[in-house]
Amino acid sequence: MTVKMIAVDMDGTFLNSQQDYDREKFSQLYQVMKQQGVRFVIASGNQYYQLKSFFPEIEGELSFVAENGAYVVSEGEEIFTGEIDPEIIQEVLTILAKFKQGHTILCGKNSAYVNEDEPDSFIEHGQKYYHRLKKVPNLFDVKDDTLFKFALSFPVEQVPEVLVQLHEALGDKVIPVSSGHGDIDLIIPGIHKAHGLMKLQELWGIKNHEVAAFGDSGNDLEMLKHAGYSYVMSNGQPRVKVAAKEIILSNDENGVLLKIEELLGN
What residues are labeled active site?
A: 9
Distance CA 206, CA 185 (A): 28
Mapped onto helix, strand or coil, the DSSP state of residue 237 is coil
Distance CA 113, CA 133 (A): 5
Backbone angles phi, psi at 89, to 5 degrees: -55, -50
Mapped onto helix, strand or coil, the DSSP state of residue 235 is coil
- Residue 185's Cα: distance from chain center in Å? 9
CA distances 32 to 4, 38, 140, 265, Å, are: 12, 8, 48, 10
The DSSP output letter for 144 is S
Distance CA 14, CA 259 (A): 11
